[in-house]
Structures are given as C-alpha cells and as structure tokens.
C-alpha cells in the first residue's frame, strides 16, 4: 500500500488526537481497536476517498501519538460513554455534518455504538466490525467457549500484564494476532503498534480499556444487555474464523437487532478478527456499497 496519508492533530473531548486523513468531502471517521493503530485502515481509506469522502482515522485515546489519559479513573459504563464522546467530539473538531459516516473495528466498534446512541443526528450510517452490539456480546461472553477465548481480558486485570505484554518485543501481542487472524502476516501492523505502545503510559492506557470495562468487582453482563439499539442503519461484519470472538451464522444474524431500519449483517468467509486487512477488497467493497457515495 503506497498511499500517502495526511496527518493532523485536533482536540476533542478534552484530549489530543493525532489522525491520518485522505480525500475530500463529507467525513468518514474510522476507529481502530486493540491491539492496533490508525494504520489498520490503510486499505479502506483510499476506497472511501474515491467515493467522495474525507476518510479520517485517529489514533484512539491512549495510543501514541494521541494523548494517554488515566484510564483507571473510569468504570465500564463511563468508558463506553467516553469512547462515544471521543468520536462525537472528533465529528465536531473535524467539521463533520449530517452526511458523516462512522466505521469501527473491535474497541472502535464499541465506540461506534456509543457515539451513535449519544449523537443520533451526527452519523448517517454506521459500520461495525468484529465486535457485535452489546446486547449480543453480553450473551456471547457468558458462554464457556468464549470465556476461554477471552482469557486475556481477565489477565489484563493483573499489574504484571504490562511487563508480560511488553516482553520479547511484544511477543504476547504477536501471539494474539496469530490466534485471532490465522494465516495473516501482521508484520507491518505490529511495527506500527510497537511505535504506539512502547511508552509505559501508552501501554497502560491500552490495557486500561479492559481494566475499566471488565473491572472484577463491578463488571456485569447485564450492562451490555441494557444498551439499546442504535437508530441509524448499521452494517455489521464478522470473520468466519475469528479467534477472538467466535460467532455462528445465527449469532451474526442476531446482530441485526443492534441497528435501525436498513441494518445488514454478514459473515466474511475465511477471515479472522482483522477481516478488513485479511480480505481488504471484499470487506472494503461491502462497506463502500453500504455507506454509498458521499453525495447520497
């Protein structure tokens, strides 16, 4: 991928965000997850720009070169709201209007749900990848097979996790990528990630997402079940061989309850957790078709 992206910095929701940008037109905001960076969108951004969007991918809170706030002050509900407020603040800071679309992967998907609920008039359409709406996620995480896959969430509650994750040039993270997206070569992605999480404050903030959301004393599956559907049309896509969150065809179909009229959900064959990288053309085409040209 030889595309050269613009870079910039804006203040939103009391934090400093650095971002990559490409194209001109209505805002298409792209939110990455863990363990990842804004460069995860390097294939999709030119596709959106070709449809007349200004594609903007910020480094999420905690990921250098964006700011690294103290995540330990948040509980799960507060984090969910804060991530949505970040996205809605970026909408304002970047000059978004009612034509804007919002796209998120992993934690970026949770931020998408939150932003859409808090700012229903800000986003025309929403796309979420790899993490289903909270109503379904709550049910899925109560299953034994998913609890095994989610071991890292509970491990990250331990202080020793910072040292373990950083050890041997982030070998723990390399193993997660290999488990979550079998057969995908993540060399380029991991190089970007090391630059984002090398500083202790940044790694602590990235793990802090899990320490807030899955805090051992206050965590409850009931929280996810209580979150309503977003009002906008939602495209939800999931990888068939996702090693992070395993969903059946029935689960993916059930994800349609998370969006408003016009919601679509689908499974991407032979793809894992990072489906937008593994099947960039296929996933990109689905997204571009769903959001439509920027003028529509």
Contact between 232 and 126 under an 8 Å Cβ cutoff? The reply is yes
CATH at 38: 3.40.50.1820
B/e letters for 123-146, b = 16+ CB within 10 Å, e = fewer, are bbbbbbbbbbbbbbbbbbbeeeeb
Q: Is residue 1 part of a domain?
A: no
Q: Is residue 217 part of a domain?
A: yes
- Please enumerate in sequence order all residues whose Cβ is within 8 A of that of 58, keeping only pairs 6 or more positions apart, or say none: 17, 18, 19, 29, 31, 38, 66, 90
| 94/184 Cα distance (integer angstroms) | 33
Q: Is residue 296 part of a domain?
A: no
* Token pair 């999709």 in the structure block, residue: 44
This prediction's pTM: 0.96
Q: Is residue 164 part of a domain?
A: yes
Per-residue pLDDT of the chain (296 residues; tens, 9 = 90+): 567 899 999 999 999 999 999 999 999 999 999 999 999 999 999 999 999 999 999 999 999 999 988 887 778 788 889 999 999 999 999 999 999 999 999 999 999 999 999 999 999 999 999 999 988 877 777 789 999 999 999 999 999 999 999 999 999 999 999 999 999 999 999 999 999 999 999 999 999 999 988 776 666 655 555 578 899 999 999 999 999 999 999 999 988 888 999 999 999 999 999 999 999 999 999 999 999 998 76
B/e letters for 250-264, b = 16+ CB within 10 Å, e = fewer, are ebbebbbebbeeebb
Q: Is residue 46 part of a domain?
A: yes
- Domain extent at residue 150: 6-291
| 109/133 Cα distance (integer angstroms) | 8
Give the per-residue pLDDT at 143.
Answer: 86
Q: Is residue 96 part of a domain?
A: yes
| 248/180 Cα distance (integer angstroms) | 16
How many structural domains is the chain composed of? 1
Give the per-residue pLDDT at 213.
Answer: 84
Strands 27-31 and 54-58: parallel
Q: Is residue 184 part of a domain?
A: yes
Q: Is residue 65 part of a domain?
A: yes
Q: How far is Cα of residue 122 from the mean position of the Cα atoms in its chain?
A: 18
Contact between 56 and 93 under an 8 Å Cβ cutoff? The reply is no
């Amino acid at each position: 991928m030889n595309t050269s992206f613009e870079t910039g910095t804006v203040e939103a929701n009391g934090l400093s965000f650095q971002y990559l940008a490409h194209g001109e037109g209505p805002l298409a905001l792209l939110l990455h997850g863990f363990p990842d960076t804004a460069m995860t969108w390097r294939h999709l951004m030119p596709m959106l720009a070709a449809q007349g969007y200004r594609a903007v991918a910020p480094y999420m809170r905690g990921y250098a070169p964006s700011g690294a706030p103290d995540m330990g002050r948040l509980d799960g509900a507060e984090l969910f709201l804060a991530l949505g407020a970040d996205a809605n603040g970026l909408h304002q800071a970047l000059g978004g209007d009612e034509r804007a679309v919002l796209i998120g992967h992993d934690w970026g998907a949770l931020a998408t749900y939150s932003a859409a609920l808090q700012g229903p008039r800000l986003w025309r359409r929403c796309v979420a990848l790899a993490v289903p709406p909270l109503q379904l996620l709550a049910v899925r995480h109560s299953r034994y097979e998913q609890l095994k896959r989610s071991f890292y969430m509970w491990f990250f509650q331990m202080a020793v996790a910072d040292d373990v994750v950083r050890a041997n040039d982030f070998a723990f993270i390399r193993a997660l990528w290999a488990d979550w997206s079998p057969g995908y070569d993540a060399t380029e992605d991991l190089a970007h990630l090391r630059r984002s999480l090398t500083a202790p404050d940044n790694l602590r903030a990235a793990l802090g997402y899990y320490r807030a959301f899955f805090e051992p004393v206050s965590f409850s599956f009931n929280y996810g079940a209580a979150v309503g559907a977003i009002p906008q049309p939602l495209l939800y896509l999931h990888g068939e061989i996702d090693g992070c969150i395993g969903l059946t065809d029935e689960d993916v179909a059930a994800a349609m309850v998370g969006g408003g009229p016009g919601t679509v959900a689908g499974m991407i064959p032979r793809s894992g957790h990072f489906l937008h990288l593994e099947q960039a053309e296929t996933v990109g085409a689905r997204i571009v078709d769903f959001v439509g040209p920027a003028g529509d």
